[in-house]
Amino acid sequence: MTSVNDLTTEIEAADARRRWLLASPALLTIFVAAIGPLFIVLAYSFLAPGDYGDVKWQFSLDAWMSVFFERDIFDDTLSLATAHIDIFWRSVKLALITTALTLFFGFPTAYFMATRSERSRDLWQFLITIPFWTNLLIRTLAILQIIRNEGILNTVLIKLGVINEPIQILFTDTAILIGMVYVYLPLMVLPIYASLERLDFRLVEAGYDLYATRWRVLRKIILPLAKPGVIAGSILVFIPAIGAFVSPSVLGGGKNMMFSNLIELQFGQGRNWPLGSALSITVMIIVMAALLIYVRNNASKDERHA
Amino acid sequence: MRKGFSVRYQPGFTAIAVACFALLYLPVITLVVYAFNSAPSVAAWGGLSLHWFQVALTNSDVIDASIRSFQIATVAACLATVFATMAALATTRTRRYRGLGFIYAFINQPLMVPEIVTAVALLIIVAQVKAFAGYSGLGYLIVAHTAFCIPFAYLPIRARLENMDLCLERAAADLYAKPFYTFRRVTLPLLWPGILGAFMLAFVLSLDDVVITEFVKSGGQDTLPTYMLGQIRRGITPEMNAISTAFLLLSIVIVTLFFIVSRKRT
Amino acid sequence: MQNTTISAHCAVDIRAVRKAYGVGESAFVALDEATVSVRQNEFFTLLGPSGCGKTTLLRMIAGFDYPTSGEILLNGADITSLPPFKRPVNTVFQNYALFPHMTVAENVAFGLEALGKSRAEVKARVAEMLRLVQLEHLAGRRTSQMSGGQQQRVALARALAPQPKVLLLDEPLSALDYKLRKEMQSELKRLQYETGITFIFVTHDQEEALTMSDRVAVMSAGRILQIGTPREIYNRPADRFVASFIGETNFLTGMLQDHANGKAKVALKSGRSIVVNVAPGTPASGEVTFIVRPEHARLVDGPGDVRASVDKVVYFGTDTHIHLRLDSGEAFMVRQQNGSIAGCSVEAGQAVAVAITDGAAQVVKA
């Protein structure tokens, strides 16, 4: 009479081993080209800048200091690096506004899609996927062609006589905002749509049956049930928005910098790789803080979203 | 005829939704229209012409960049899909074994990091490796693209796998099929539409990538998006409209294929 | 010595199989030292309510789960640790588990192909199987376009095609409507008879178990309570649970008096005595609980064995159930066949006398 207890655990252990093996190529690739490098960045942020870019292998906290402070050349006092702070503030502000706007426009859009008939739902999904899978650069270029001074919007307005001179939209924060909302809208719609599609409208019927108004039904039934999608969408928009590169580069010109432009500068003309690294880590920290809020909001939720 | 009470109606939602769809397409459609504009600026309309398409097609930089984009996208998408399929098989329909949560978080990590951070990190590593090994080819870009494509390929395959009846594989094992035989004759055929869809998604993402490619590439290794970025920064030419139109057409074709593949055998 | 005896009789031998999840006091025990031997060519049924462990046991015979302790033997060979594809045992699943991307013929052929049989052999065997379940005309159809009954038969053909030593059936009829279920029951009996394969059938439907099986094992909460033929289980239930799970039962108590050759006299509270059956090992005297099946009692004129008043009369088409309240307080049900159209003549509230057929009652463990 052999005890098969060992057999069960043995079989389960062999199974687990096999699964780890199957997952290993994916894990390895991601480690090499996504996660591992992050540690290098962290390390680099504590080194000194080299003369022609790259780093000198000596420990220095200068980079981290420079993130927030600048040293006066003459009397060597520390003061807040206002240029940097402006950029941080612009990035966070624009990312938050983008998230809010995409949510405001995206939720009704997702709701609309989810309440179409079975057949036409496919069509609407198709229609929202096309912009989603169109190159970000092309979409930004399209916005550029519209809002620039010689662009379509201004040309039409002048022709109609509404204004005499072109409105300077390009190279302002507003331009970047328009670009980001345009580009990230599908990213907000899709997860909310996924949530709403699963919504059992009999619950809504129950709400109306119990004397609720449309507004109350929306607030107390639909929105809470769509919450996982809303949160997923917000994360999916906020994270790329705060690290946005193309929109500020193309629509903001060199002047309205966001995080990514500042970072790019350090690896280009600025020749301060440690500072660039420290700035990148700062972005990561902001993102992780946002994610932590998400995790806390969704403590017991399934990991299935997006 | 008086319309009855609609449970699904919310005031203003339809209007906003339709407006959004229209506004999503309007800029791009305008771009396409002006690609056929023979006049060099959007301020004037010079009549229909294919001139700018010709310019784009004869531009050797554009051709080079396009070819390079496709090469990278094909290899990266293939690798990403294969790896993602393996990882999905490893992480679905199983009791919680040690490390399952870790693997899942690890694989989805690229989604949680802004591209600029990954781009910078890769820039640094590639610089070191280049100095060390002297290799300067497309390999870095391929590895980088594969890495960020994996989570995008992983999620739809995993979703499809979770929806598959575990009973079927059990039935196959009951009928003397060894594990690989079961995979080949039962799991794979049923998973195939999901795998194809994942491949297309990965392909498009690789093709579209701007930021990571911009930071990781060596000189002269432009992909189509980075070429366009460079041109835009220098000043917009109408040629850009033509290239954009061609790109857009490609996206539409791929999205259509994707929907055909996914709708089959749902 | 013992092994040869066993392998000559037993198709499947389950020895002290135990399945526990977790350890120690809080462990959930799905199977508690289950021991049963299934004979060759037998139609054997595992019967019990949900959660009794019957499906767990079946899965372990199939190889989808492994016992925490104990052994499973097939024709004398230990298969406890073998993966399912190495066991000559096939399963008909509750939801059929037909491969949706294959036709009927391809489904039936699957096991044979997995075993590497030649194309000619596969073709012949598939045709034979489809003839057996009367589905030759649907060979090229996709399984998703078929009715439940047809899918069932495909699942059967698929499982029988590789000629397994044992066929396992996991509640295969539960998704079918009443009429179809009755048809499939006789189908299954016919198939088992024609193929001669040992069938192990799992169900919670006791009527199904009684009509189809050669022998039945009644299970509850992970334990096997009784193994026997349908007649034995029905007339001589081993304990209270088996008695109430199978068919309708009345429970009465009385004082045991003489006790010989499996029969005894029991004094009822009404003062009369009746003759009951006792299992060996029952103590010779004292208070006992015994069961009386409703069809073994009848309303009589005259004193009868117990007196009662009628609670309600329920009409069932073929029978009438008369629910009584005995003078001694217990509830009691009498079943009368509706031989004549005129029906039953008692009414609620009426006082009646009940006679219990001699030798029909059975003492059970309280």
Could you report the per-residue pLDDT of B136-169, keeping only the tens digit for each? 778 889 999 999 999 999 988 998 888 888 889 9
How many beta-carbon contacts under 8 Å exist across A and C? 25
SS3 for C132? helix
Residue A169: band (very low, low, confident or very high) from pLDDT cuts 50, 70, 90: confident
Q: What is the distance between the alpha carbons of residues C46 and C58, in angstroms, rounded to a whole number?
A: 9
Q: Closest residue of A to B140, CA-based? A: A33
Neighbours of chain A (3+ CB pairs under 8 A): B, C
Nearest one of C113, C133, C132 to C123, comparing CA atoms: C113
H-run or E-run covering C199: strand C198-203
Which of A:4-43 have CB within 8 Å of C? 4-5, 7-8, 11
Which of A88-102, A287-301, C352-366 tops mean pLDDT?
A88-102
> Whole-angstrom Cα distance, residue A28 to residue A35?
10
Q: The tokens of C216 are what?
A: 């039945």
Residue B204 has pLDDT above 70, yes or no: yes
Query: What is d(CA A266, CA C137) in angstroms, rounded to the nearest whole number?
Result: 75
pLDDT at C342 (0 to 100):
62
Choosing among C64, C99, C112, which should be mutated to test the B contact, i.e. which has the most B CBs within 10 A?
C99
Percent pLDDT > 90 in chain B is: 32
Q: Who contacts B65 (Cβ-Cβ below 8 Å, separation ≥6)?
A: B222, B223, B224, B226, B227
Contact at CB, B86 and A122, closer than 8 angstroms: no
What is the CA angle B58-B59-B63, rounded to 5?
95
pLDDT by residue (tens digit) across C1-43?
A: 333 334 456 788 888 888 888 777 778 888 988 999 999 999 9
- Top residue of B93, B166, B174 to mutate, by most chain C CBs within 10 Å, is B174
Give the CA count within 13 Å in the CB-facing half-sphere of C287.
5
What pLDDT, in 10s, does the model give residues B18-42?
999 998 998 888 888 888 877 777 6
A119-138 pLDDT per residue, tens: 888 889 899 988 888 888 99
Q: What is the pLDDT of residue C228?
A: 93
The answer to whether C288 and C265 have CB atoms below 8 angstroms apart is no
Is it the case that residue B86 has pLDDT exceeding 90? yes
Contacts of A5 in chain C (CB under 8 A): 68-69
* Amino acid letter, residue B237: T
Q: Degrees (nearest 5) of the Cα angle C290, C294, C297?
A: 85
Written as tens digits, the pLDDT of chain C (366 aa) is 333 334 456 788 888 888 888 777 778 888 988 999 999 999 999 999 988 999 999 999 999 888 888 999 998 899 988 889 999 999 999 888 999 889 999 999 999 999 999 999 999 999 999 998 889 998 888 888 888 889 999 999 999 999 999 999 999 988 888 888 998 999 899 999 988 999 999 999 999 999 999 999 999 999 999 999 999 999 888 888 998 898 889 988 888 877 777 788 888 877 788 888 887 777 767 888 888 899 888 888 888 888 888 999 898 888 889 999 988 888 899 988 887 666 667 888 888 888 888 878 888 876
pLDDT greater than 60 at residue A300? no
What is the amino acid identity at position C333?
Answer: M
Q: Which tens digits make up the pLDDT trace of A42-76?
A: 988 888 888 776 777 888 888 888 888 877 777 77
Residues of B in contact with C59 (CB under 8 A): none
Q: For A178-234, write each residue's pLDDT tens digit.
A: 999 999 999 999 999 988 888 888 888 888 888 878 888 888 888 888 888 898 899
Distance between CA atoms of C263 and C111, rounded to whole angstroms?
53
DSSP A224: H
Residue for token digits 């909001």? A297
Q: Specify the pTM.
A: 0.81
What is the average pLDDT value for chain A, to the nearest integer? 84
The pLDDT of residue C6? 40
Q: What integer pLDDT is reported at residue B200 of this predicted model?
A: 92
- Verify whether the Cβ–Cβ distance B124 to A22 is below 8 Å: no
DSSP calls for B69-123: HHHHHHHHHHHHHHHHHHHHHHHSSS---TTHHHHHHHHHHHHHS-HHHHHHHHH
| Ordered domains of chain C (ranges, CATH) | 4-240 (3.40.50.300), 248-364 (2.40.50.140)
Q: Which of B172, B181, B189 sits opposite C101 (nearest CB)?
A: B189
| pLDDT recorded at residue C271 | 77
C97 vs B165, B181, B265: nearest CB: B165
Q: What's chain B's average pLDDT?
A: 86
Q: What angle do CA B54, B55, B57 make, to 5 degrees?
A: 65
Residue closest to A1 by CA, chosen among C6, C71, C5: C71
User: Do C85 and B177 lie within an 8 Å CB cutoff?
Assistant: yes
Q: pLDDT at position C120, please? A: 94
Cα gap B139→B62, rounded to integer Å:
21
CA distance A128 to A122: 10
Shortest Cα distance, chain B CAs vs residue C125, angstroms:
15
From the list A13, B96, A3, the residue with the least C-alpha distance to C19 is A3
Query: Of B170, B176, B185, which is closest to C64 when you measure between CB atoms?
Result: B170
- The two beta strands, C198-203 and C43-47, are parallel
Please state, rounded to an integer, the average pLDDT across all residues of chain C. Answer: 87
Looking at residues B222-247, what average pLDDT do you find? 87
Residue A304 pLDDT greater than 50, yes or no: no
Residue A305 confidence (pLDDT) above 60: no
- ipTM score here? 0.85
Query: Would you call C70 and A4 a contact, using CB atoms and an 8 Å cutoff?
Result: yes
